[in-house]
Amino acid sequence: MIEQRRPDVAWTSDRQLRAGMKIESGQNRPHRPDAVVVANEKQIALEVELTVKSSARLVTLMRALASEDYVMVWYFTNTRSTHAVSQAIASLAETERAKFQVYNLDDMPLKGEEEVHEAPTATNA
């Protein structure tokens, strides 16, 4: 859908990101985002967090993402996971925090919903 609306934007899924990775025996695979969008030659990492992970795990993943060359990291959450993600972001250094935006999917209407909703806004955690 993104490619149809914005042909100037490139979308790469996590499977595509992992396809070229070579991991030696006994090594852990580094974390890759769920997807990467490239717009105007800038990379945005996308994470979909629908289950609640421990704060320590989230912070570790976020620090890894913040250290990469992504200009932004967008977290798509649900009502259950929004608080945990926001708290983890709040515990990061200010320079790391500035990269993150949280979007609660439960606040986003699905196409065809009867009720009219305002467009969701990001929370800068």
DSSP H or E stretch at residue 103: strand 100-104
Residue 6 is assigned to a structural domain of this protein: no
Listing DSSP states for 41-75 in one string gives TEEEEEEEE-SPPPHHHHHHHHHHHHTSS-SEEEE
Residue 101 is assigned to a structural domain of this protein: yes
pLDDT (mean) for 71-75: 95
Residue 103: closest CA among 124, 76, 78, 85: 76
Query: Which tens digit of pLDDT belongs to each residue from 13-69?
Result: 666 665 665 666 666 666 789 888 888 889 999 999 999 999 999 999 999 999 999
Residue 96 lies in domain: 31-109+118-125
* pLDDT number for residue 16: 60
Q: Which residue has the higher pLDDT, 3 or 110?
A: 110
What does pLDDT average to over the chain? 82
**Rounded Cα–Cα distance for residues 58 and 100 (Å):** 13
Q: How many domains does the chain have?
A: 1
* pLDDT number for residue 24: 66
Residue 42 is assigned to a structural domain of this protein: yes
Residue 96 is assigned to a structural domain of this protein: yes
Residue 15 is assigned to a structural domain of this protein: no
Largest CA distance in the chain: 53
